[in-house]
Amino acid sequence: MSNYPVIAIDGPTASGKGTVASLVAQKLGFHYLDSGALYRLVALASEKLGIDVKNAAELGFLVPKLLISFNNNQILLDGEDVTDAIRTENIGLRASALAVHPEVRTALVGLQRGFRQSPGLVADGRDMASVIFPDAVLKVFLTASAQARAERRYKQLIAKGISAKLSDLLQDLQERDARDSSRGAAPLVIAEGAKVLETSDLSIDQAVKTVLDWYQSVIT
Ligand code: DC
């Protein structure tokens, strides 16, 4: 593992960690890893190939065969732009279902660690601090109430012109929370030494500032 600093930001679905993490990365000029996107890519690719989400072995074999590239804000899978296709609720649920398999998680470790490059990395996910970058200089557990997260997701979907029902979204995210937190392999946990950031009543700017202040305090 290289010595470039890593800020690990973990948290439940729709907590805003992706937005906060990418803004923190921008401010610091660091690379950014959206690890959830990798699980979503496996979900999309395996769905296209008709692989069952329970078929751990085949899913594990699939991972090294995928041609994934992150191009500014675009995500390509085998040369195809799938930036929007991986963001649907269906793909999110499928990603959560296949993320329970150690075969899938292990196959994604090297890819995730490869993002640690000069001058540093901000990584967001569920197990960034606990498994992928246990030596992260700053570990943040970013969360918000289920209601606040469902409302955020609702607004995002409506803004994109996608119809949605708040009660369905709340139920989906509670289902994902339960599965992501209770699985045996790398469950969503507050890592030892992680600072908890409750964002239900914080703006994005306030959350970003808090993480940047914490980072300054650990490196000085
Ligand atoms: O962060 P997200 O909603 O895009 O992630 C989609 C799913 O991928 C999430 O429900 C669980 C899984 N995931 C994971 O198991 N570990 C990660 N580091 C990131 C995501």
Could you tell me the distance, in angstroms and rounded to a whole number, from the CA of residue 126 to the centre of ligand 1?
6
Ligand 1 atom having least distance to the Cα of 40? 6
The domains located in the chain, with CATH, are 6-214 (3.40.50.300)
State residue 142's pLDDT score.
95
Could you tell me the distance, in angstroms and rounded to a whole number, from the CA of residue 115 to the centre of ligand 1?
17
Ligand 1 atom having least distance to the Cα of 125? 18
State residue 1's pLDDT score.
55
Q: What is the mean pLDDT of each run of 10 residues along the chain (220 residues)?
A: 90 91 98 96 98 98 95 90 92 94 97 97 96 97 94 89 91 89 87 94 95 96
Could you tell me the distance, in angstroms and rounded to a whole number, from the CA of residue 220 to the centre of ligand 1?
32
Residues whose CB falls within 8 Å of the CB of residue 138, separated by 6 or more in sequence, listed in order? 7, 8, 195, 211, 214, 215, 218
State residue 154's pLDDT score.
92
pTM: 0.92
State residue 156's pLDDT score.
85
Is residue 5 within 6 Å of ligand 1 at its C-beta?
Answer: no
Is residue 92 within 6 Å of ligand 1 at its C-beta?
Answer: yes
Ligand 1 atom having least distance to the Cα of 39? 8
